[in-house]
Amino acid sequence: MATYVLVPGAWLGGWAWQDVASGLRDRGHDVYPITLTGLGERVHLARPEIDLETHITDVVNTIAWNDLDDVILAGHSYAGTVVTGVADRMPDRISQLVYVDSAPLGDGMAMVDLYPPEALAALRQTIDQFGEGWRYPFPGFEMLAEDTSIAGLGEREQEAMVAKSTPHPWATYTQPLRLKHADAEDTPYRRVLIACDEMRGLVAAGVPQIAAMAGPPWHYLEMETGHWPMFSAPRELVELLDGLTGDR
């Protein structure tokens, strides 16, 4: 039996992992789907002060207060930054650090650094106009599909995401990630990339930081599905996550 901590990306809560968590539990594993502060069923706690450190602390405290060790810690999309911070703060509790169609940020980087200037300016305008200056509203699938793969998301999955998604605290995107062990050459945990359409495309394009994740010391796995595999291909994602326990 393994212990999994699953962290969802922007706008989502622990509910997003329901099918994956059920599949892993059916295989005898212990699973902790996280809902980050201000999202999902914790939306009533939303406030402008929620930042990246808040979300890192959410996961750190889940691991600490439940006395979890040898954790397989998985972060999807935005949560790749969150789990990077968690592993930096408690590396000895983590056995495998899994990026689900995501990648780590470097020390001192923020999510906003990934946006071109024009796109970031438009995003800030949206947040000011529709999010009271501190919330990042769910943009809808028409807009998401412009630069992110929604392959595999049928009408049912899209309706569920629209119904349950909540605005994301914007300060989590603007606060830089601070790492205490940024210069460490070795980690006590294995790093894993599960690359779906978005990351597979970046690997194929030879983007240096991402292409490096497709070879040692990384463990590289692929899924032929869109950016939200917990909805579009949950059984396949369960297979890959379950397989991590026996292929080291």
18-22 average pLDDT score: 98
pLDDT value for 181: 84
Any residues with CB less than 8 A from the CB of 192 and at least 6 apart, and which?
A: 96, 97, 98, 99, 218, 219, 220, 221, 244
Per 3-state DSSP, the chain is made up of helix, strand and coil in percentages (nearest 5) of 45, 15, 40
- Whether residue 41 is contained in a domain is answered as yes
Instruction: Give the tens place of pLDDT for each residue, 103-149.
Output: 999 999 999 999 999 999 999 999 999 999 999 999 999 999 998 99
Q: Which of 22, 77, 149, 165 is catalytic?
A: 77
Beta bridge partners of 96: 72, 190
pLDDT at 184 over 70: no
Tokens matching residue 221: 């796995």
- Whether residue 66 is contained in a domain is answered as yes
- Whether residue 28 is contained in a domain is answered as yes
pLDDT at 199 over 80: yes
CATH code assigned at 171: 3.40.50.1820
pLDDT value for 48: 98
pLDDT at 185 over 90: no
Instruction: Give the tens place of pLDDT for each residue, 41-89.
Output: 999 999 999 999 999 999 999 999 999 999 999 999 999 999 999 999 9
pLDDT at 95 over 70: yes
Q: How far apart are CA 72 and CA 64, in angstroms?
A: 14
CA quadruple 162, 165, 167, 168: dihedral sign: negative
3-state class of 167 per DSSP?
Answer: coil
pTM reported for the whole predicted model: 0.96
- Whether residue 248 is contained in a domain is answered as no
Nearest to 10 by CA among 34, 39, 33: 39
- Whether residue 113 is contained in a domain is answered as yes
pLDDT at 10 over 80: yes
Q: How many domains does the chain have?
A: 1
- Mean pLDDT is lowest, of 56-70, 150-164, 176-190, for 176-190
Tell the residue number behind the tokens 């009533």, with chain if given. Answer: 44
pLDDT at 247 over 80: no
- Whether residue 87 is contained in a domain is answered as yes
Average pLDDT, the chain: 96
What does the angle CA 221 – CA 224 – CA 228 come to, to the nearest 5 degrees?
90
Q: 90 is in which domain, residue-wise?
A: 3-243
Q: How far apart are CA 117 and CA 81, in angstroms?
A: 21
Known catalytic residue at 77: yes
